[in-house]
Structure 1
Amino acid sequence: MKGLTAPLGLSLVLENKGNVARDHLASERTYLAYVRTSLATASAGVALVQLFSLSSSKSLTKFAKPLGATIILFSLIILVFGVFRYFVTQSSLVRGYFPVARKSIAAVAFVLGTLTGIVFGVLVAGTR
């Protein structure tokens, strides 16, 4: 039964020996975590635009759309990366390997931290 694929090649059926099912289900949960992070980031971008647009400060209003668009674009990058990571992990698990994601997690954390710092800086500068 190992290696059976659907006619379109979109699904894979593996024999459940050892940790096969657990590993593949963990990979799916990780993909869903990327989707959740992407949705939360996109929601934060939309909320940021709305927050800055409601502000009476002109300096905050001019940063609203570019900063919100940047955050939403980054949320799309997180989603694409999650899809890519899911398929790489699935193909690696079939071959008996597991790819470790050290650099990518550090990159996502760095960019989210940088964007958070920029938003904080704009908010602090706008209150003066």
Structure 2
Amino acid sequence: METDDAPCLTTVENLPENDSFLFTVRERDGSEEEVVLVHGDDCITAWKNFCQHETDQRLDRGFGAAMRDGDIICPKHGSMFDGCSGHCDNGKAAGSTLVSVDVTVDDGAVYLTDRTCEFAHEGGIEEDDEDDMPSSSSHLSF
């Protein structure tokens, strides 16, 4: 896909393996969605920022998605999603797949190339009230 008009999100150099980058997109209906860009094992992919088991549970809560060996880990239940395919084969989200957002790597830069949304800004959706944030019953840290 052409990257001429696509917004540059970051560079591969600034997104080390097993790391993530949070940004917000605007959907066609005007709503905003958070997206987490991850550098998994031999891939760079982007996923809507929610667990498939509980859609109000964010994978990246504003300080990076927990990752291990190329997998994205749900901070609430510990389900692990393959960073390249988005598929989960364990825990409460087993059998589900994350919702993808198209990105393209070109000459060391990562571009948003998904035609269903447009780049809004780096970081997550601005919350008016921190009480609206999904909670986590887990204290997982990696």
**What TM-score does the superposition give when structure 1 sets the normalisation length?**
0.24
Higher strand share: 2
> Whose relative contact order is higher, 1 or 2, with alpha carbons under 8 Å and at least 6 apart?
2
Larger Rg: 1
